[in-house]
């Protein structure tokens, strides 16, 4: 981002960008976990010869990961609010 774009970024814009980044990271971890799951099915078995993971969700719970992101928005501390207020002032009160 350019300095002008940063100055024009509102707190709402920042929160949307942060959430989009967080969702993107969960998607990347999902893909990596899916690859690991496929490898586990092909190679990993317990002592009885059965797969270690019965379901993919045992390895990676996608819905749980997404819910954690959604729940984070309600956990903003006083120091975060102060920080965002300073950014707002720097952006001319927007």
Q: Pull the structure tokens for residue 91.
A: 């952006």
Q: What is the pLDDT of residue 42?
A: 65
Question: Using CA atoms, how far apart are residues 80 and 40, in angstroms rounded to an integer?
Answer: 41
Q: Tell me the pTM.
A: 0.48
Q: Please list the alpha-helical segments (H only) found in the chain.
A: 3-8, 11-43, 56-59, 62-72, 78-90
pLDDT in tens, 15-62: 999 999 999 999 999 999 999 888 877 677 889 988 877 788 877 889
On the question of pLDDT at 71 being above 90, the answer is no
- CB-based burial, 46-77: b 16+ in 10 Å, e otherwise: eeeeeeeeeebeeebeeeebeeeeeeeeeeee
């Amino acid at each position: 981002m350019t300095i002008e774009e940063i100055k024009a970024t509102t707190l709402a814009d920042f929160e949307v960008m942060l959430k989009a980044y967080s969702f993107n990271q969960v998607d990347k971890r999902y893909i990596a976990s899916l690859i690991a799951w496929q490898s586990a099915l092909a190679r990993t078995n317990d002592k009885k010869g059965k797969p270690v993971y019965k379901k993919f969700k045992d390895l990676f719970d996608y819905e749980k990961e997404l819910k954690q992101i959604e729940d984070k928005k309600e956990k903003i501390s006083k120091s975060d609010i102060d920080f965002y207020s300073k950014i707002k002032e720097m952006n001319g009160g927007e």
